[in-house]
Amino acid sequence: MAFNSKISLKPQSRESAKNPPALKVIMPGYTPDWSPSTMAKKPKGCEFCPMHKKGAGFVGDEFPEEARVLFVFAAPRPDDAVAQRPLGGAMGKWYARALIYELGHKRSEVAITHILRCAPKTGKYGLEYPTGSTKTDAEKRCRQYDGLQSYEGVTKAGGVLAWRPEIFMLTFSPDQVKNGPALVHLLKADVRRAFQLADKGYRVALLFGPEPGGLFMPHVFQVGAGGIRSWRGHFKLTQWGEMKLEEEQKGFKKASSWRRYN
């Protein structure tokens, strides 16, 4: 596979890339305690979030030094919260095997973050992601942790704001694949594309599902737009801080900067 020759992309160096604009954070900045005992609960900054009592535990972001591609999920699953690690539960381990190890990569080559860092309840069709004002408020409050990362209870600065992804690609969510096994090969193809872009020097964020995808590509999920089935594999050059929360999406027009990876 190769880029469309009409598209000109230039990878940004980590030194020269501009810091993305900060999203509005409701809670004041501070360093939370992400020790194993508190991660089983939640950091203090989650106290006024509408998901404080509805979501289980807290899963900090994981950014290995060797990370080449960023996986962006809607939220951790309850067993991930128990394991206190992204993709740490049973479903997460299957996902890691199918999308990382079976494609010839190491776990350390993948950074992982979530739009929400606590685990919503699971229902018949997967995670019951919040809606309406609960969704918007929770997504906004969780941005206070975008500049931090955690592993085995050790917290340090970094996270998605320091990693600075520059290409955002849309693909299916874990629950969509679980309920439609035929989609697995398409999902693997998108992961391969993300690593191919990484081989060219780009920092790629792979958006798994409508929740993270809708923050960067809201027009895709409007009535008649086709959704992920029509837009998976498309990518956009943007920054993390350019995500559009729900109240900012009114009157949003189709973006011209989305491209198909051929």
Q: What CATH number corresponds to the domain at position 198? A: 3.40.470
The answer to whether residue 143 is domain-embedded is yes
Q: What tokens does 46 get?
A: 């989650």
The answer to whether residue 49 is domain-embedded is no
On whether the CB atoms of residues 74 and 211 are closer than 8 A, the answer is yes
In this prediction, residue 5 carries a pLDDT of: 33
User: By residue range, what is the domain housing residue 181?
Assistant: 60-260
Tell whether the model's pLDDT for residue 220 goes beyond 80. Answer: yes
**What's the CA gap between 178 and 259, in Å, rounded?**
27
**What is the mean pLDDT of the segment spanning 126-137?**
90
**What's the CA gap between 65 and 108, in Å, rounded?**
8
The answer to whether residue 208 is domain-embedded is yes
Coil, strand or helix at 30: coil
Q: What tokens does 126 get?
A: 């997967």
pLDDT digits (tens, 9 = 90+) for 3-62: 333 344 555 554 444 443 333 333 334 444 444 444 457 888 898 999 998 898 889 999
The answer to whether residue 45 is domain-embedded is no
The answer to whether residue 84 is domain-embedded is yes
In this structure, of 31-35, 82-86, 143-147, 224-228, the range with the lowest mean pLDDT score is: 31-35
More confident residue, 230 or 86: 86
Tell whether the model's pLDDT for residue 175 goes beyond 50. Answer: yes
The answer to whether residue 256 is domain-embedded is yes
Number of H helices and number of E strands within the chain? 9, 10
pTM: 0.80
The answer to whether residue 239 is domain-embedded is yes
pLDDT over 70 percentage in the chain: 76
The answer to whether residue 249 is domain-embedded is yes
| Number of domains into which the chain is organized | 1
In this prediction, residue 179 carries a pLDDT of: 66
